[in-house]
Chain A
């Protein structure tokens, strides 16, 4: 017996003990949880900042803060939510935890690099938080750091930029790790087109992380240099080109929205077959549409700059390619719906989170087409309509799936069931609050309320009040969900291996999994990852545990 011999009756929590066994762990499941706890913490900080902004906008005029603080709050909200929450969220938490299990192996390909990514994440997070204490206060530029204001602002922009650089490095290494893992560690019976769709989502994501992030890294460094040496790269007062900054920034920052959404779409493609108890409709189309979105995503950055100054030819081309992205996205949505059609649907909070995602993302995606149209964009750009649009995709999309995945895989991660009744209530509040908040913002944006404004005209007051009330309902839902999950993780019913009757590999291991993931050979179908004719055979294991 080799040195890895561990009793498989012990789960991965019990295999080792102590703080150091966590923060220096090489186990992908523990690293996933480290990410989960750190990301959740920052998510709550981001939510609190959003709550404050909505309070400020409850009525015209100053309410709870001064204008400069308001600018700092929305900047910090954006930086935290983008760089510390959404970008790492699904890949670093659920990708780390489930990718190795789902492809039938016992760890990622480069475990030490994996731990290093988490440490980089923490260092980047501390640097971002450091701007609260050092220098002239946190940045007030907006998370996009547009030049020339990011060059001339007297706040501590440089440190925040360096934090984003470090976080980008962390994201690159996670992506790199997943590509190597998927290429090298798939189970022998699992060719590319028999992989679970979550793995496909992560694979497409990883390539974007790898190929787009370095550009923003170097761009942010350029802004730091510009601030230090005042050389006139981007500052027009010194002969620089601010539109060049926007190009460099969006060359990364548009593809990165697909880093945020593709893994979420992968998870939905897992939850829906399990809930409908039938194989996914259009497996290859869903897998390849992820790659198509990743590819097309590189060529649409110009649609962030329709009103910034570009040639008409460039704008038309960018607009056209933007519309193309809707095709692979719609392919996914239709395939999910087709999977549910005539399936034997088990309604669980997991499924409802996923359908809530489809609803929100439909609004997010269709409003995106309106921005993508040149003429319409001139009207809606820089209004709260844009803010609502990307919250519908990022929050209503990615974060909803993140929370849904937390429910779907909750029994596997913590080995206990959550309280379903409370989960429905929490989802209900979150969904209703979310739609009130951002629905009102969409509407008031179309009426012309500018984004990032501290104050507004009286005619926008009613919808702003509605939005703020919506934010309270939303936060209530989130808090209820957190209460439910934390309580259930400690006191819930003990979960079986396969509570939702799934057939992918993570449902064939104990809940929670042992250190090396598998306690017996796994069952893979020749008909792909969602072959529910195997369900009986998979669930037999539960009834007669292996004789040790």
Chain B
């Protein structure tokens, strides 16, 4: 006893569909950050001078290091997809591990950076912060909000890449079926891309 199998079934594997879904999701992520970029632009316009002054406290070296780290990690994730396409599972897994290690390095840098600011009292609630100009406080608030939300995305991205590793090891991602791997890579590139905009806005413009 059977049923009529429709010509185009939702239960079939559909790589194009999965990728379309991922791209649409990336749009929503960009719009999510877009709201924050908009608020940044508005307050930068309003408090131009104060944004400029407080930005001098940012650690360009750490920021630049993190930029290099993320761009490198984007490279490794792209290479791992290429390795997967060529059926070189071990290299793909190795490259993914490197990517996750870079993500970790990014977060460690971030931790020291935030720690340093908090230590100096450049954080909401501290006495020094309360004596800052409103625009300076706004800059720091947006800095914590935007890099914090971005950091959250780094963590989520790393978890997704860890799942990719597990799936490769279990044989669920193969040379002929690597859409999940590609989608994980897409997400990771987005994380990288957002940082590439955050870096100049918070570190370089002063």
Binding site for B on A (CB under 8 A): 1, 4-9, 28, 100, 104-111, 113, 172, 176-177, 179-181, 183-188, 210-211, 213-215, 217-219, 222, 225, 229-233, 238-239, 241, 244, 248, 514-521, 548
Contact = CB atoms under 8 A, between A and B. Distances in A.
Given A180-B20, A239-B134, A210 B28 contact: yes
A183 B42 CA distance: 37
B205 interface: no
Interface in B1-50: 1-11, 14, 16-18, 20-21, 24-25, 27-29, 31-36, 38-39, 42
Given A8-B2, A231-B124, A104 B21 contact: no
Nearest to A100: B10
Nearest to A1: B2
B145 interface: yes
Interface of B: 1-11, 14, 16-18, 20-21, 24-25, 27-29, 31-36, 38-39, 42, 124-125, 134, 137-138, 141, 145
A235 to B, nearest CB: 11
Contacts of A177: 21
A7 B11 contact: no
A185 B18 CA distance: 12
Chain B: interface secondary structure? helix
Contacts of A106: 6, 9-11
B17 A109 contact: yes
A176 B36 contact: no
B39 A180 contact: no
Nearest to A546: B4
A185 B8 CA distance: 6
B10 A108 contact: yes
16 contacts: A5-B1, A8-B1, A9-B1, A106-B10, A107-B9, A109-B10, A111-B11, A177-B21, A179-B24, A184-B16, A185-B10, A218-B32, A225-B145, A229-B124, A231-B124, A241-B42
A232 B134 CA distance: 8
Contacts of B141: 225, 229, 231, 233
A517 B6 contact: yes
Contacts of A218: 32-36
A219 B35 contact: yes
Nearest to A190: B8
A107 B4 contact: no
B42 A244 contact: yes
A222 B138 CA distance: 12
Contacts of B38: 248
A108 B134 CA distance: 50
B66 to A, nearest CB: 23
B17 A180 contact: yes
Contacts of A28: 10
Given A100-B10, A108-B10, A521 B4 contact: yes
Given A184-B14, A210-B27, A7 B6 contact: no
A210 to B, nearest CB: 6
Contacts of A184: 8, 14, 16-17, 20
Contact of A518 (B3, B10, B11): B3
Contacts of A217: 32, 35
A8 B4 contact: yes
Contacts of A172: 28
- Residue from A28, A215, A218, A519 with most neighbouring chain B CB atoms (10 Å): A218
